Amino acid sequence: MPEDAIEEYPLVTDDDIDPTFVQRVSATPGGEHLLDCYACGTCSASCPVRAIDDEFNPRRIIRMALLGLKDEVLQSDFIWFCTGCYICQERCPQDVRITELMMAFRNVATQEGYPHPTVAIIADTVAKHGIIMEIGEFENEKRVKAGLPPRNVPEDVHRGILESTGLTETLKKAKPRPTKDADGGDA
């Protein structure tokens, strides 16, 4: 094997494997069907994100999870690339429910201190406006024209609701993310 190939696909050691990871994901809502994957590759072949970025590979992410490569999965940007289009989920012959599985990976990653930086930005917008978009004069004028009252809920109400979910505290404990993503590769 050429040396550059070894560098691209580093060897996995016992230290990289967490044997409890499969159970952890399987016990998370959305992850219940992880063990049913038989690696056919239909998900990767169907995925529109993979069509424009061949580094994104749902089958490979699932294989890594099944091998117990917890850090590699949870610190990966790829689990955040899924657009939630459900194409893979509709085509998977094993009903792995990949779209929901990706959400399970994201939730476990966030609990373990590896939320994607966009989560903090979205949480801040929700805290300020109550939804994931800014509500300003323009939006309120359109609401009034449509016969709706302008949205003007005080920020502390939204922040209080967000804090009650535990997300604010979880985001405070976020760990530094690795600068280089290690996964990708062939389907």
Q: How far is the CB of 55 from ligand SF4 (least distance, A)?
A: 13
Q: How far is the CB of 119 from ligand SF4 (least distance, A)?
A: 17
CA dist 69 and 109 (Å) reads 13
Q: Of 10-69, which residues contact ligand SF4 (CB under 6 A)?
A: 37-43, 46-49, 58-59, 62
For the window 89-108, what string marks contact with ligand SF4 as x by the rule CB under 6 A?
Answer: ---xxx-x-xx--x------
Residue 162 to residues 24, 90, 110, 157, Cα–Cα distance (Å): 25, 33, 15, 9
Residue 28 to residues 32, 62, 109, 111, Cα–Cα distance (Å): 7, 15, 11, 11
Q: In terms of CB distance, is 106 or 162 closer to ligand SF4? A: 106
Q: In terms of CB distance, is 43 or 167 closer to ligand SF4? A: 43
Structure tokens given for 100: 């929901």
Q: How far is the CB of 104 from ligand SF4 (least distance, A)?
A: 13
Q: Which of 29, 84, 149, 176 is the binder for ligand SF4 (CB under 6 A)?
A: 84
Q: What does the DSSP assignment read for 140-159?
A: HHHHHHTTPPPP---HHHHH
End-to-end CA distance of the chain: 20
Q: Of 131-170, which residues contact ligand SF4 (CB under 6 A)?
A: none
- Looking at residue 78, its amino acid is F
Q: Which of 25, 65, 73, 82 is the binder for ligand SF4 (CB under 6 A)?
A: 82
25 C-beta neighbours (distance < 10 Å), count = 24
Per CB under 6 A, residues contacting ligand SF4 are 37-43, 46-49, 58-59, 62, 82-88, 92-94, 96, 98-99, 102
